[in-house]
Chain A
Amino acid sequence: MIPPAFFTGACRVAPTEGKKILQAVGIRKTYPGVTALDNVDFDLYEGEMHCLVGKNGAGKSTLIEIIAGSISCDKGKLEVFGQEFTHLTPPESMALGIQTVHQTNQLIEGMTVAENIFIGDLKTTRANFFSMGDCVRATEEIFEFIDINLDPRMLVAKLSPVEKKILCIARVFSNTVKILILDEPTASLDKEVEEKLFNVIKKIKSRGVGIIYISHNLGEIFTLGDRVTVFRDGNRISTHAIEEIDEKQLIEDMIGTKTGTFLRESQIVDNEMLEIRNFSRDGVVNNVSFTVKKGEIFGIGGLVGSGRTELARLIFGVDKKDSGELVYNGKDITPKSPVDAIEKGIGFLTENRRKDGLMVAAPIYENVSLVKLIKTKGGFLKLKEELKETEHIADQINIATPTIRQIVRNLSGGNQQKVVFAKWILANADILILDEPTIGIDVGAKDEIYSLMNELSRQGKIIIMITSDNPELVTVSDRIGIMRKGSMVKILEGEETTEAKVLEYALGSQNERKRNE
C-alpha cells in the first residue's frame, strides 16, 4: 500500500492572502524587424482572472511565453511571489507553480484519461511496474479538487471536445498550480457546451489560483474576468476592472486609430456578377452565399479558424463539398477540381506561399509561367516567348530582382508574393480568390500589393480577398463578409465597413448574440 500522503502531492495549491503573485515590469522583446513587446507591464493577484485581449500579433502570446519561460525577454524583469527574475526557463517557471494550457490539445488519443494526466510521471508499484490503480486514484483526487466529473479509465478518443479541453486543464494539476495560463480555451468549442468549462474555471479561481486568460471572445471575458488588459502592436494600451469597461470601449482600445496611405478606387460593373450559392461542407463551412460584381473587391473577415480558407478551397474545387454552386453571369461554372477551376478562369492565391504557392527552388519565370504553360498547346516549351512575357509582368508589378532567372527562395517575402500574383495575372484569370495576400510582408510591399489589386479590379477582375488584417480588410474591400464558426454571419456595406463592426461580428459580441436568439 502506498501511504495517503503520496497522493496529496497531486494537487497542491498554496493559499496566499489576496496579494500580488506576479508582476512583470518593462518587458521588451524584439525579433528582427519587429518589436513584439515594447516596455510592457503586467500583474496578477491570487484568485483573480486577468484577461488579455488584442488582435492577432498584438503581443499577447509573446507575453505569456515569457512568463512560462519558453522565450526570454530582451529587457525587463519578472517578479513571482516576491522573487525577482530576468529570465525563466520552462522547468523553473513550472516549479514556481506557473502552468500553461495551450490552445491546441496535446493529448494522446489512444490512452486513458488518467494516463494522459500522468504521462510525464507515471505511477509505479514498488517493483517499478506501471500502476494503473494509483494513476486512477491520483486522477480522482485532482478531479475532486476542481470539480470535474470524468471517468479516469475512459479512452481520450471517446471524450467530447469540451471534455478534452477540461482534461487538458486538469492535467496541469498533476503539478503545483498557483498561476494558470489559459490560451483561448474556447476557440474550438461550440457555444452550448462552454458552460461546463466555465464551471471548472470558476472552481479553480475559488481555490486561489491566479488565471491569465487569453480569448477573442469578449462575451466570456465579461462573464468570467476580473480585470482586462488590451494589447496592440506590442504595447499595453489599457488595463481596466471589468465593471469599469464596456464592449465598445474594449473594441476601440483594440483597434486604435491607424491611417494607411492606400486609397481604394472602385469601378464596379453592376450588371455582371459572380454568385456564390449555398457552399457547405459538414462541420467546416455552413451554407455560405454571397455575390461579387465585376470590378469589385469582396473582403472576407473573421477569426482564424472561422472557415474562410476552407470556403475558398470549396469554391476552387480543392476539397469535396456537400453543396454549392458557382454562377457567373447566369452560367454555372462550379469547378470540379482545381484543373477545372483554372479552365473556367478562376485563380487561387493560397495563404501559405511556401507550402502550396511556389516552387521555391525554381527560378522566377518557371513559377510565373506555370498556369499559362498548362493552358498552352504543344509538347515543347517556347522559352524565348516565356522569358519575354515573364519579364514584362515582373517589370509591370515591380518584382525587385536583377534577373527573372533568380531562384525564388532568394527573394524577399513581398517579392515572393508578387511572383504568385504574377502567375495568376499571366494566366489571365477573371476571378481571383486571394487568401491572406499580404501575409508576412512589410508595409511598403503591402501598399504595392494593394495598388496591384486596385489595378486588377479596374481591369474588370472579380476579387475575393480573405484577410486577418482588419485595417487591410476595411481599406481594400468594397464590401465585407464576416465568417464565424463556418457561417457568413454578416455582410458589411458602405458606412458599416469599419474595423469596429468587423470585430463585433467576427467575435460574436453579446449584443449581436442576443439579436440572434
Chain B
Amino acid sequence: MNQSVFLIVLMVIIGIVVSLINPKFLAVRNLFNVILQVSVTGIICAGMGTVLVSGNFDLTVGPQISILGIVMALVVINTDSILLTTVTVLVLGMAIGTFNGFLVTRIKAHSFIVTLALSTVYSGVALLMSGGKYTSLGGRFSFFIGKLFGIIPWPSIVFVIVIILLFVVYRYTKFGRLLFAIGGNADAAYLSGVKVNLYKILAFTLAGGVYGIATLVLVSQLGVVYPTTGNTYTLTALAAIVIGGVALQGGKGSALGIFLGAIMFGLINNSLIVTGVNPFWRDVALGIIILIAVMFSGMISKDD
C-alpha cells in the first residue's frame, strides 16, 4: 500500500463523516471550493516537490513569490500587457531558481541552510523593492478570478494542468528519471555518469518557473501585492508535500501524491468550516494530519 492510496482512504473517511454532519459538504460548488483554496499551494508544491525529489530543500519559495508578485504588478501597471507580464514573471522565476540552484551546488553546506539564508535575503529585497507598501493592480490581470462554465475556478484548472505536466515529467522523461536517481543516491548517480550538479540546478530552474505560474494565479486573484504576499507559503507547501509522501531525503515521491497532499490541506480546512467547528481548531487538526501522514510514510518505509 502506498501513500496515495492511504490519503485517498483518509479523504473518503473524512468526506463521509463530514457529509453526515452537513450534507452540503458534497455540493459540487463546495468541492470545487476545496480545490480552489489549495490551488496556489498545490502549484507551489509541484515546484518545491521537484527540488525535494532531487535531494534538496527549497525554502526560498515564499519571499521569491513576493518578489515575483511585485515585479508582476510593476510590469502589468506600466505596460498593460498580459503576455509581457506572463513572460517576465516566468523568466524571472526561472532565473532566480537557477541562481538558487547554482549557489546550492557551489556552497558546501546543506541546501536547507543555504535556501533559508537566501529566503531571508529575498524577504529583504521584496521590502526594498516595494518600499514596504502594497501595490494594487487596479483591476488588471484579473481573469483568474473567474470560473470556466461558471463553475470550475480557473486556478484549479491551472493546478490540475501543472500536476499533469509534473506527472509526465516524473514518469516519462529522462530529466525526471535522473532527478529521482540523484535524490535516491547522488553518489551512485555520479559514478554512473549523471551530471549531478547540472540536474540539481535544473530542478531549481523548473521550480522557479512553477513559482512564476503560482505568482500569476495568486496575484491575479488578490488584485494587490504586499511585500510579504508569499511568505506563509513556504512551510505550508513543505507540509503538503510531506503529507503527499515525498521523502525529505529525496528520491521518492509522485505527482499524484503531491496533488493529494495539497488537496488534504483544503479538505481539512473546508471540513471544519462546513461542520461549524471553531476555526481556531484548524491548525490543530492540520498539525495532527501532518503527523499521521508522516507516521504512515515512516511505517511503509520502515525497512530502509
Which residues in A have some Cβ–Cβ distance to B below 8 Å? 316, 318, 338-339, 341-343, 348, 350, 355-362, 366, 370-371, 373-376, 378-381, 383, 409-410, 423
Contacts and interface: CB of A to CB of B under 8 A. Distances in A.
Interface stretch (B41-49, B112-120, B134-142, B183-191): B183-191
Contact of A356 (B178, B181, B187, B247): B187
Contact of B174 (A316, A341, A348, A376): A376
A421 to B, nearest CB: 13
Contact of A381 (B174, B185, B194, B303): B174
Given A356-B185, A361-B304, A373 B177 contact: yes
B282 interface: no
A359 B174 contact: no
B175 A379 contact: yes
B280 interface: no
A343 to B, nearest CB: 7
B195 interface: yes
Q: 10 shortest A-B CB distances, which residue pairs?
A: A359-B184, A356-B187, A342-B193, A359-B185, A370-B192, A339-B193, A371-B192, A356-B188, A374-B193, A362-B184
A375 B177 CA distance: 14
A410 B300 CA distance: 13
A362 B180 contact: yes
Contact of A366 (B177, B187, B301, B304): B177
Given A358-B185, A366-B181, A374 B192 contact: yes
Nearest to B168: A380
Interface residues of B, number: 25
A318 B187 CA distance: 11
B251 interface: yes
B185 to A, nearest CB: 5
Contacts of B174: 373, 376, 378-381
A348 B177 CA distance: 21
Contacts of B251: 359, 361-362
B193 A343 contact: yes
**Chain A CB within 10 A, most for which of B194, B247, B252:** B194
17 contacts: A339-B194, A339-B195, A357-B188, A357-B191, A358-B188, A359-B180, A359-B251, A361-B252, A362-B180, A366-B177, A374-B193, A375-B193, A379-B175, A380-B172, A381-B177, A383-B172, A409-B303
A315 to B, nearest CB: 13
Given A366-B177, A378-B174, A379-B173, 9 more contacts: A316-B191, A339-B195, A359-B185, A360-B185, A361-B252, A366-B181, A370-B194, A371-B192, A374-B178
Given A378-B174, A381-B172, A359 B191 contact: no
A366 B184 CA distance: 11
B168 to A, nearest CB: 9
Given A359-B184, A360-B185, A380-B172, A338 B303 contact: no
Contacts of B304: 361, 409
A358 B252 CA distance: 14
Contact of B192 (A362, A378, A423): A423
Contacts of A316: 191
A378 B252 CA distance: 24
A467 B35 CA distance: 58
Interface string B115-129: 000000000000000
A66 B185 CA distance: 36
Contacts of B193: 338-339, 341-343, 371, 374-375
